[in-house]
Amino acid sequence: MLFHQSLFLGIRTFAVVPVLVLALSSPWGTGHRGELFVAWSAHDPSLRTRIAALSPTVSPDEARRVADTAYMTGRELHREWRVAWLPGIQNFLVNTGRRKGGLCFQWATELLIRLDALKLQTLELHWAESGPNTGAEHNVIVVTAKGQPFGEGILLDLWRYSGTLVWTHVGMDPDYRWMENKSEIARRLGRTQDIASKQIPSATKSN
């Protein structure tokens, strides 16, 4: 059941790409759910602008580096993990030991580690989760201005499009409702090894 749910999400996601292309040119000022954006390159101007616009205190250079790192992390891990074109298929391959990475928490952890290595001064990272402790749990990274509330941030998701970076305001995601988990981000950053690239335990996880 969980595999079929992930497979359906993947099919629906790729089916709406033309709609997302049109959405890229529009502001997200409507305040309604349903706005999801694709970063088409490491130099995506829309993502950089949105990150920089979080606050007048945000460094444009840091906004640029976050956008670049998030995009390149997806591209690099897509090759390293030999990611299938649907996230549900990749989940199955990881859970059966045929791939070493590609579950949502692995994407999020790798991205977190790389963004944390930037030593950001004007931006802050948050671990976000939807449906925690359920078979439909999903994890992403949210970026805010330093000291800004989680609910004002921008989510960065590499799992949903199999390594292609998608992003939106954390409260406008058409598919998920996000909550912050402060203890989880501390736990992941406190580890001495890169847990995202390790083989997952024998117990399966949906994403």
Q: What is the pLDDT of residues 66-82, one digit of tens each?
A: 999 999 999 999 999 99
Tokens 């078979």 sit at which residue? 135
Separation of CA 167 from chain center: 7
Q: Is 28 part of a structural domain of the chain?
A: no
Phi, psi of 152, rounded to the nearest 5 degrees: -100, 5
**pLDDT above 50 for 38:** yes
Q: Is 72 part of a structural domain of the chain?
A: yes
DSSP states of 73-98: HHHHHHHHTT--SSHHHHHHHHHTTS
Rounded distance, CA 42 to CA 32, Å? Answer: 27
Q: Is 99 part of a structural domain of the chain?
A: yes
Strands 164-169 and 154-161: antiparallel
Confidence bin at 206 (pLDDT 50/70/90): low
Number of domains in the chain: 1
Q: Is 203 part of a structural domain of the chain?
A: no
User: What's the whole-number average pLDDT of the chain?
Assistant: 82
In 3-state terms, what secondary structure has residue 15?
helix
CA angle 149, 144, 33 (to 5 degrees): 80
The mean pLDDT value for 164-180 works out to 96
Q: Supply the range of the domain harboring residue 77.
A: 2-15+40-197
pTM of the model: 0.78
Q: Is 118 part of a structural domain of the chain?
A: yes
Q: For residue 50, give the amino acid letter.
A: R
What count of other Cβ atoms lies within 10 Å of the Cβ of residue 137?
A: 16
Taking alpha carbons only, the member of 160, 156, 159 closest to residue 14 is: 160
**pLDDT above 50 for 83:** yes
